[in-house]
Structure 1
């Protein structure tokens, strides 16, 4: 099972949008996927289900990582109703903030890893939507993951935030808290190509992080928000910007799946 954490240092960069774009691409490409909503705001749950989760959620999974708890928490997303592949979700919950310690101990960090080891379902990829911080929940995700995907905007704070997120992943790997973890790279989101500031910041990110800045850069387009507002997969969105967005997320998912060969 290949696990990818989608994380960021700060909110408002479109981390959940990237998660949902990848989930839509997975359905489009026939990839069986599980989304785990670790963000206490539970926006990925709302985007995939059209309503807050009402069954066993991720907070219960982390508190009691038994096989029956994990299997009960996994529910099919309506998006995959007529698809040849399936997309499931472990819903998020505000209650998960209770285990989001700023300095978790080693055993606490492995809670998600232990839970996923006990599931009976099989997936091609697991996508974990992390909280907008580097506290306990994000560290749990990184500990269980094969790859980390850092989402950032081309703004003034992007360099510092991206650097801290990448360093945390490296420290956890070197400290044996995340033995399989490798950085997949930075996803630059909400890019406005006509903005001189965005052009400058993107060039700055590329100068500092090189090949870790992934292609494609995701441009700011209204279609992404409109698809989420309708709780429909991006690949079913019929607006003018839909085609470009679906191409970008298809390419990004392909990069994610190809990285399995680097294990």
Structure 2
């Protein structure tokens, strides 16, 4: 089981959109995937189930690290119907915000990792949709992960936010809280190629972070929001921008899966 945290220091960068795009690509390619919605807003849950999650949810998993708890929390998604593989979710909950401390104790940071170690379900890939901060919930996700995928947008605050997220990844590994964790890179999202500002900021990110800026850059396209609004996988969306979006997320998923071979 290969676990990837999808995180960001700030909101509004499309972190959940990237999570759902990768989940759609994984399902389309026959990869068995689990999404963990660790964001108290629960947007990934709404996108995958078409409704808010019910208990047991991720808050209960964190508070009660037992095999039966995590097994009961896992729910199949409608996206899996008719697919050769399955896509499940541990739903998000506003109740998880109670443990989102800016300075969590080490034993709390390890709780999600301990919960996943007790699961009986089997998955090829686990995607953790983190809150838009680097507080306790995101640190729990990173401690349970093999890779950290940082989502950013080509804006003025992107450099500082991306740098802080990458530094946290390194710090947690060095402190022994996330022994398996490596940075996967920066996924630049909501890029507008005709915007001079976006062109400048993308070049700035590439100058500063080099190969950590992943390809492809995900352009801002209405199809992504329309697919999510209809609670359908991107790979079943029939709008005009669907083909380009599915190609981009297929390529990004390949980068994610190829990183398993990296030490």
TM-score, normalization: structure 1?
1.00
Distance 1:16 1:138 in 2: 14
- Equivalent residue for 2:12? 12
Q: Does 1:27 align with 2:9?
A: no
Deviation by residue 1:86-121 (Cα, 9 ceiling, x = unmatched):
000000000000111110011000000000000000
Distance 1:115 1:254 in 2: 27
- Equivalent residue for 1:231? 231
Distance 1:111 1:211 in 2: 32
Alignment of 1:108-187 (within 5 A): 108-187=108-187
SS of aligned partner of 2:5: strand
Task: Give the RMSD, CA atoms, in angstroms.
Answer: 0.4
Please identify, of 129-138 and 47-56, the stretch whose mean Cα deviation from structure 2 is larger: 47-56
Deviation by residue 1:155-188 (Cα, 9 ceiling, x = unmatched):
0000000000000000000110100000000000
SS of aligned partner of 2:187: strand
- Equivalent residue for 2:191? 191
SS of aligned partner of 2:127: strand
Q: CA deviation at 1:78?
A: 0.6
Q: Provide the aligned length of Structure 1 versus Structure 2.
A: 263
SS of aligned partner of 2:151: strand
Q: CA deviation at 1:54?
A: 1.5
Distance 2:47 2:131 in 1: 16
Distance 2:73 2:96 in 1: 14
- Equivalent residue for 2:262? 262
Deviating 4+ runs (over 2 angstroms): none
Q: Which runs of 5+ in 1 are unaligned?
A: none
Q: Does 1:87 align with 2:109?
A: no
Distance 1:142 1:54 in 2: 25
Q: CA deviation at 1:214?
A: 0.1
Deviation by residue 1:208-259 (Cα, 9 ceiling, x = unmatched):
0000000000000000000000000000000000000000000000110011
SS of aligned partner of 1:173: helix
Distance 1:176 1:54 in 2: 34
Q: CA deviation at 1:204?
A: 0.1
Q: CA deviation at 1:55?
A: 3.0
Q: Which runs of 5+ in 2 are unaligned?
A: none
Distance 1:164 1:261 in 2: 25
TM-score, normalization: structure 2?
1.00
- Equivalent residue for 1:203? 203
Distance 1:41 1:55 in 2: 15
SS of aligned partner of 1:138: helix
- Equivalent residue for 2:76? 76
Distance 1:133 1:227 in 2: 26
